């Protein structure tokens, strides 16, 4: 029925809505496009240049854009994010601050901060559960567990060469 595409030039990017048989429709300018996810009828977008995670709804008519996380929350270069709809939390991997922040999607308040000793490169789901890769999907890469009240890193042991 439709698709979204983000383009990136040297100075800025753009989010487009694509529909069969129609010209691409520009929806939103971006500073530096990042991760895009369609979840529960809303499109979530990371703008790495503006250090924001946005929620886009009603893109067909009059787009409604809500900023869920920004530099004001302590975000710097959001390299990935995950939404926990049941707990109304948005987890954001902030590459510039070397943290994962849990932000309340209703109030915008930061509920939890997990300091990392490395700069995360992503926040990739490892299946339908609460586990997320922070540094790619290689064996031994750090894994975030959001099951507990506070985000935590799972201990990982390197793969043996046997």
pTM > 0.85: no
Residue 82's region, left for phi above 0, alpha for psi from -120 to 50, else beta, is beta
Binned at pLDDT 50, 70 and 90, residue 57 comes out as very high
pLDDT digits (tens, 9 = 90+) for 71-93: 999 999 999 998 887 888 889 99
pLDDT (0 to 100) of residue 27: 92
Residue-wise pLDDT for 89-146, tens only, equals 889 999 999 999 999 888 889 999 999 888 999 898 888 778 888 876 665 668 888 8
Both structure tokens of 68: 């869920």
Long-range contacts of 39-47 (CB under 8 A, 24+ apart): 39/83, 39/85, 40/85, 43/4, 44/68, 44/81, 44/83, 45/6, 45/15, 46/78, 46/79, 46/80, 46/81, 46/92, 47/78
pLDDT of residue 137: 65
């Amino acid at each position: 029925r439709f698709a979204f595409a983000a383009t990136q030039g040297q100075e800025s990017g753009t989010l487009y809505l694509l529909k069969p048989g129609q010209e691409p429709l520009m929806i939103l300018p971006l500073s530096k496009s990042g991760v895009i996810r369609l979840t529960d009828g809303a499109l979530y977008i990371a703008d790495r240049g503006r250090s924001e995670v946005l929620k886009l709804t009603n893109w067909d008519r009059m787009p409604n854009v809500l900023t869920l996380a920004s530099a004001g929350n302590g975000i710097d270069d959001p390299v990935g994010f995950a939404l926990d709809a049941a707990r109304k939390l948005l987890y954001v991997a902030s590459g510039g601050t070397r943290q994962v922040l849990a932000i309340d999607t209703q109030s915008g308040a930061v509920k939890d901060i997990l300091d990392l000793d490395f700069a995360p490169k992503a926040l990739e789901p490892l299946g339908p559960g609460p586990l997320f890769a922070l540094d790619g999907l290689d064996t031994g890469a750090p894994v975030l567990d959001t099951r507990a009240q506070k985000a935590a890193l799972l201990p990982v042991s390197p793969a043996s060469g046997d």
